[in-house]
Amino acid sequence: MKTHPDGGLAPPRFQPLYQQIKAAIVQGIESGEWAPGQMIPSELDLARRFSVSQGTVRKAVEALAAENLLARRQGKGTYVSSHQEAKAQFRFLRLRPDSGPATQPESHILDCRRLRAQADVARGLSIRAGESVLFIRRLLTFAGEPVVLDDIWLAGEEFRQLTAERLANHSGQLYVVLETELGTTMIHAREKLRAVCASEEQAERLQVARGHPLLLVERVTSTFNGRPVELRRGLCRTDHHHYANEL
């Protein structure tokens, strides 16, 4: 990788020019040059930095905004997207109440410990079976009603610092904690949905009858360079909520 005269990384070769600029901006975000919530340089400044036209930079920025890596703010500039932003709070949480506005749930940590990844978890996280992962079980409540029972596996050295005590200090979004305290930003997610019946333990946690129909949402979430770092299996009550998506 060549170095740009001003010290920055030069865009990779063998790609359309705007994709080279897009990759270079992503490198800047990943390296911490521009932190979540921070404004990036103007299109004109980036054009000068990479010796390309302003239109090429604009195309790269628009592509990153479409992928939710960047956020444009009218009259203010373009910022690195953050899980703390209001519009990003429901990007991955697709559960909505049947009536009334969408609200953030309260998180209750039931378990947090390090485990050896079983084969199915290892496959989801693209690691070897037996590697160490951080396991979190939590209950999400909406207005005091238990709605989601999450089993979460996190893979990566950065999560060694995460403990039950640290999580207990945060009742909100897990992704905000990972971003602000560990510097891990969740970028892409792939989900599978299926209908299941509640086991006795699940029914007790969610305050439903055994065999009650639940929606199982399995999600693999990736950070930069497509690296999968989270496998999540959420069991959702849908008697007062539904899964919403826009295609």
Please, what are the averages of pLDDT over each run of 10 residues along the chain (247 residues)? 53 76 91 90 94 94 89 89 69 85 88 95 96 95 95 90 78 79 87 97 97 97 91 96 86
pLDDT of residue 5: 52
- Bridge partners (DSSP) of residue 193 are 217
In angstroms, the CA 104 to CA 229 distance is 23
Report the pLDDT value the prediction gives residue 156, as an integer from 0 to 100: 82
In this prediction, residue 74 carries a pLDDT of 84
d(CA 195, CA 53): 51
The strand pairing partners of 100, in sequence order, are none
d(Cα 6, Cα 209) in Å, to the nearest integer? Answer: 64
CA atoms within 13 A on the CB side of 25: 31
Alpha-carbon gap, residue 127 to 125, rounded angstroms: 5
Query: In the prediction, which pLDDT does 146 show?
Result: 97
**Token digits of residue 222:** 């990736």
**DSSP structure string for the chain:** -PBPTTSSBPPPSSS-HHHHHHHHHHHHHHTTSS-TTPBPPPHHHHHHHHTS-HHHHHHHHHHHHHTTSEEEETTTEEEE--TTSGGGTTSS--EEESSS---PPEEEEEEEEEEEPPHHHHHHHTS-TT-EEEEEEEEEEETTEEEEEEEEEE-SGGGGG--HHHHHT--S-HHHHHHHHH-----EEEEEEEEEE--HHHHHHHT--TT-EEEEEEEEEE-GGG-EEEEEEEEE--SSEEE----
Confidence (pTM): 0.81
Domains and CATH numbers, the chain: 17-80 (1.10.10.10), 86-243 (3.40.1410.10)
